[in-house]
DNA sequence: GTCCCGTGAG
DNA sequence: CTCACCGGAC
């Protein structure tokens, strides 16, 4: 996702962003989820994980990720493999609609990039099956670069905290991109996004969020609106 | 905006 | 049975 020029002081003027960061990181100490692709800095492994996670529950990915990496520990071994060796490992992810994209991606990584994963946004995004989210995620999680990152969960937390109307297209909107970029803890983007994703999954859930466990209960726009009964779940 | 394979949770 | 899943292509 592209970096944007935005006046963060104006955008988040009424919020104490540092306070949010402290509370979130503090919460995360006791609640962080452990996945084999977490803190992985090998672009190949991050790309594989994020590709698998495409519209797929993380517990499903967890079941096959280690076996996949064990069989193809580096991109060279994957590039040498035949489709018939790869696809059976991915069947449980529901890959009929993604396997062709995955095959094309492997082909391009081999033919155009010589087995090196390009670590810039534009080239990553040009790969089949790689869009805004995965391109940014690969860069952020390998290089710890402060880029905006929006998936449905980050959208939900950001929208609720800052009173933004959430729609299906929020993850592609300029407004949300600006907000998450301003909200981002620039000193450690990688961990910031791990924190936010876990917080979204465990507390700020889509349905029945645990607002009583949330450190932002008092200042969360969503919570206060909901309590007043003027709006439904956003 | 709308569809998308499999799986598990409810 | 229905629904969502650390999104992307069309």
* C1' of nucleotide C9: residue with nearest CA: A129
In a domain, A233, yes or no: no
pLDDT score at A227: 63
Query: Of the ranges A77-86, A181-190, A204-213, which one carries the lowest mean pLDDT score?
Result: A204-213
Q: Distance in angstroms, CA of A98 to C1' of B3?
A: 13
Q: Look at residue A124 and tell me whether its pLDDT is greater than 60.
A: yes
* A85 and A153 both lie in a single domain: no
Q: Are A84 and A151 part of one and the same domain?
A: no
Phi-psi region of A129 (alpha: psi -120 to 50; beta: other; left: phi over 0): left
Q: In this structure, is residue A180 part of a structural domain? A: yes
- The helix-helix angle for A152-162 and A189-202 (nearest 10°) equals 80
Indicate the pLDDT class of residue A13, thresholds 50, 70 and 90.
confident
Q: For A145 and C2, how far is CA from C1' in angstroms?
A: 40
Percentage of chain A modeled with pLDDT above 90: 79
Q: Which nucleotides of B are covered by protein (CB under 7 A)?
A: 1-2, 4-8
Q: Looking at residue A233, what is its pLDDT?
A: 46
In a domain, A150, yes or no: yes
Q: Which of A143, A177, A209 is the last residue of a domain?
A: A143
Tell the burial category of A108 from Cβ atoms under 10 Å away from its Cβ (0-12, 13-18, 19+).
middle
Average pLDDT over residues A60-85: 96
For residue A175, being part of any structural domain is answered with yes
Which CATH number characterizes residue A55's domain?
A: 1.10.340.30
Is the C-beta of residue A55 closer than 7 Å to nucleic acid chain B? Answer: yes
Please say whether the beta carbons of A50 and A134 come within 8 A: yes
Are A12 and A60 members of one domain?
Answer: no
- Among A79, A111, A143, residue at a domain's last position: A143
Report, as an integer, the average pLDDT of A78-84. Answer: 94
Q: How far is the CA of A169 from the C1' of B2 (A)?
A: 12
Pair (A82, A113) in one structural domain: yes
Which residue, of A102, A127, A143, is where some domain finishes? A143
- Between CA A57 and CA A173 the distance in angstroms is 24
We report the CATH number of the domain holding residue A165 as 1.10.1670.10
**Which element (helix H / strand E) includes A15?**
none
Q: Are residues A139 and A47 in the same domain?
A: yes
- Backbone dihedral angles phi then psi of residue A161, each to the nearest 5 degrees: -60, -45
pLDDT at A3: 56
Q: Residue A60 CB closer than 7 angstroms to strand B?
A: yes
Is A205 part of a structural domain of the chain? yes
Give the pLDDT confidence score for residue A171 in this predicted structure: 92
Any strand B atom closer than 7 Å to A94 CB:
yes
Return the pLDDT at A118. Answer: 97
How many Å apart are A77 CA and B5 C1'?
26
Q: Are residues A76 and A123 in the same domain?
A: yes
Task: Give A151-167 pLDDT, tens digit per residue.
Answer: 999 999 999 999 899 98
Q: State the total domains in chain A.
A: 2
Nearest-CA residue relative to C1' of B3: A97
Q: Alpha helix (H) ranges present in chain A?
A: 8-11, 17-31, 43-52, 58-71, 75-80, 83-90, 99-111, 121-125, 132-143, 152-162, 174-183, 189-202, 221-228
Residues A158 and A79 in one domain: no
**Domain ranges, residue A223:** 8-34+146-228
- For residue A234, being part of any structural domain is answered with no
CA of A205 to C1' of C8 (A): 23
Q: What is the pLDDT of residue A15?
A: 87
What pLDDT, on the 0 to 100 scale, is given for residue A131? 97
Whether residue A230 has pLDDT greater than 80: no
A15 token code pair: 């919020």
Q: A182 and A120, same structural domain?
A: no
A168: CB within 7 A of chain B nucleic strand: yes
pLDDT at A1: 58
For residue A194, is pLDDT > 80?
yes
């Amino acid at each position: 996702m592209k970096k944007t020029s935005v006046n963060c002081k104006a955008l988040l003027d009424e919020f104490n962003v540092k306070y949010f960061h402290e509370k979130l990181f503090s919460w995360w100490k006791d609640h962080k989820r452990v996945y084999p692709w977490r803190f992985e800095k090998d672009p190949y492994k991050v790309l594989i994980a994020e590709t698998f996670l495409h519209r797929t529950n993380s517990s499903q990915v967890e079941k096959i990720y280690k076996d996949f990496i064990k069989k193809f520990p580096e991109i060279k071994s994957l590039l040498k493999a035949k489709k018939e060796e790869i696809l059976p490992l991915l069947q449980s992810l529901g890959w009929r609609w993604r396997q062709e994209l995955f095959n094309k991606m492997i082909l391009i990584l081999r033919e155009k990039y010589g087995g090196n994963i390009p670590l810039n946004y534009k080239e990553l995004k040009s790969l089949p099956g790689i869009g805004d989210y995965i391109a940014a995620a690969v860069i952020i999680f390998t290089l710890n670069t402060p880029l905006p990152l929006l998936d449905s969960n980050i959208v939900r937390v950001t929208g609720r905290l800052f009173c933004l109307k959430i729609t299906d297209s929020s993850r592609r909107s300029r407004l949300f991109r600006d907000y998450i970029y301003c909200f981002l803890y620039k000193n450690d983007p990688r961990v910031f996004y791990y924190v936010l994703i876990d917080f979204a999954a465990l507390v700020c859930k889509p349905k029945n969020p645990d607002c009583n466990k949330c450190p932002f209960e008092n200042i969360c726009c969503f919570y206060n609106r909901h309590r007043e009964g003027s709006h439904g779940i956003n």
